């Protein structure tokens, strides 16, 4: 994140404006779902030589290894984007950014906690995301738990 971006994010947090709502969250997430789907397809293709080119049998060591490997790929996708610049490809399209209380990109600890808590939000049938509808700062449950905010940055120019 540039100094100007950090300053803008800090103004948002201190000034109480431009928190991203649920609609923008979903829009960014839809873009990211496409990216993650492609990542999972490529990841699976790269894993197939370990199983002789065959799909692993359900319950086998290979099936469990594939699941762990794909989960690690998804985690790395989000953790790297969130800690590097505070945003994924889908978030870039909608000028969204995840920031900490100082207006900076989240730490690896925060990104990891946010990832795990977002999985919990999904497991609760999306209720963790719906929390943003009633939260004064439009924070989803996973943002509250991780100490992060999702903000919308102003247009350049």
pLDDT digits (tens, 9 = 90+) for 38-76: 999 999 999 999 999 999 999 999 999 999 999 999 999
Model pLDDT, residue 21: 83
> Do 151 and 21 contact (CB within 8 A), yes or no?
no
C-alpha to C-alpha distances, 143 to 16, 92, 147, nearest whole angstrom: 16, 18, 6
Q: Please give the pLDDT value at position 22.
A: 85
* CA 47/CA 37 separation, integer angstroms: 15
Q: Does the pLDDT value for residue 10 go beyond 80?
A: no
First to last CA, the chain: 18
Neighbours of 56 (CB within 10 A): 18
- Residue 83, pLDDT > 80, answer yes
Lowest mean pLDDT among 4-8, 13-17, 59-63, 90-94: 13-17
Domain ranges for the chain: 3-152
What distance in Å separates the CA atoms of residue 104 and residue 101, rounded to the nearest whole number?
7
What is the pLDDT confidence band of residue 12, given thresholds at 50, 70 and 90? Answer: low
pTM (two decimals): 0.84
Comparing 121 with 76, the larger pLDDT belongs to: 76
């Amino acid at each position: 994140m540039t100094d100007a971006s950090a300053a803008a994010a800090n103004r948002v947090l201190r000034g109480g404006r431009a928190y991203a709502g649920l609609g923008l969250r979903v829009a960014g997430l839809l873009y990211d779902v496409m990216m993650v789907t492609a990542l999972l397809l490529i990841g699976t293709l790269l894993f197939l030589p370990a199983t002789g080119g065959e799909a692993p049998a359900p319950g086998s060591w290979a099936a469990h290894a594939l699941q762990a490997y794909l989960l690690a790929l998804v985690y790395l996708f989000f953790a790297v984007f969130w800690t590097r610049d505070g945003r994924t490809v889908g978030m870039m399209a909608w000028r969204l950014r995840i920031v900490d209380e100082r207006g900076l990109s989240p730490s690896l600890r925060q990104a990891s906690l946010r990832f795990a808590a977002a999985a919990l939000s999904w497991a609760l049938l999306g209720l963790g995301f719906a929390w943003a509808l009633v939260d004064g700062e439009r924070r989803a449950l996973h943002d509250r738990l991780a100490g992060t905010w999702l903000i919308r940055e102003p247009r350049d120019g």
